Structure formats: structure tokens, C-alpha cells
Amino acid sequence: MKLYIASDIHGSAYYCRKMLDTYEKEQAERILLLGDILYHGPRNDLPKEYAPKEVIAMLNARKEEIYAVRGNCEAEVDQMVLQFPVLADYCLLPLGHKMIYATHGHVYNAEHLPPMKEGDILLHGHTHVLKAEKREGFILLNPGSVSIPKEGNVPSYAVLEHGKFEIKDFDGNVIKSMVIG
């Protein structure tokens, strides 16, 4: 299965459209959203075309294809308008003999690891900084931010297929790639 992974849309209709366009081009079977879907948060400027109601409509149209975890900007009111679950703190995805622990990153991250076995994978957003690196005892992955990238990064997403994790810009260029399984 080809999985499309994105984080930190923050209510940007512009970047949500770009995300869904690249999802189509990638021909992935599912989207995994790593939180901060609708609200921009008090620490961020408004993203381009901030229009949460438009984002709601676009994502609800794909509700059967979306898995999501709760970001620090998600609240119960978001679940009232989104037609797919968004309040889970994490999800576990098996990858061969490894486990991917997917979460937003505001609770569990490289400095505060969840329970994982040696060689498992921590996948999170939150920092708006893309990563694909082997750490001592685990692999750290972050697709970056769809709408508000930081530290000189561009808006990005990732795909996971056949044990290969690729972070791409919205033109489809591979920014970073790592075999993880």
C-alpha cells in the first residue's frame, strides 16, 4: 500500500488543494494526517488562504481515505465538523518487523520517546521541519509542514511505499529519502 503522509495544514485551503492534487498524482491509497488540520494556532501567522471551512469540505469529501492523529491545535469542536476521527493521540502502523508510531509530536518526539522497540520508527509533524534520519535505537521521520514550513524548508509531504520514505515538495521533487523497512 502506498501511504501519503502530511502534517500541519493549519486551515490553509490553498495548501490543502495542493496536498490533495499531489495525493492524486501519487496514486496513494490512503492519507495519514499528523495533526493541526484546521486551526493556525496562536504562534503561527495565518497561512495562505486561511479558510478552515473550505478545508473541512475538501477533507470530508475524502473521509474514507483519511487516517488522522490529534495535533496540539485540534479540539472537540474540530471533530464535530470533520467526518473522520481526528482525536486519537497516535496510531501504530506495522512495517515488517518494525512498528511505526505515528503521532503529532507535541507530546511524543525525539526528546520524549513513546514506548518503542529498538529499530522502530517515530513519525511525527508539529515542528514544521522535515526529517528522515537514523537515531540511536530508532528512526525519526517528519514530513515537514504542508502550509507553514520552518527553518528554510519548503511546503512538503511524504510518501511511504515498499519500505521507502520520501519527502517531496509540491512539484514532486524528492527532498529527502530513506529506506526504513
What is the per-residue pLDDT across 74-130, written as a single tens digit (0 to 9) for each?
Answer: 999 999 999 999 999 999 999 999 999 999 999 999 999 999 999 999 999 999 999
| pLDDT the model gives residue 44 | 82
C-alpha cell at 28: 496513494
CATH code 3.90.76.10 for 3-89+143-179: no
In this prediction, residues 18-40 reach a mean pLDDT of 97
Report residue 42's pLDDT band, with 50, 70 and 90 as the boundaries: confident
DSSP label of 46: P
Query: Is residue 128 a contact partner of residue 150, using CB atoms and an 8 Å limit?
Result: yes
Task: Give the CA distances from residue 58 to residues 13, 61, 92, 105, 143, in Å, rounded to whole numbers and listed in that order.
Answer: 8, 5, 26, 25, 21
| pLDDT the model gives residue 74 | 96
Query: What average pLDDT is seen over the chain?
Result: 97
Report residue 53's pLDDT band, with 50, 70 and 90 as the boundaries: very high
C-alpha cell at 154: 519548503
C-alpha cell at 142: 517528519
Query: Could you tell me which residues are beta bridge partners of residue 164?
Result: 161, 179
**Percentage of the residues of the chain whose pLDDT score is greater than 70:** 100
Helix extents (H) in 39-173: 52-60, 76-81
| pLDDT the model gives residue 43 | 84
**Taking the model in full, what pTM does it have?**
0.97
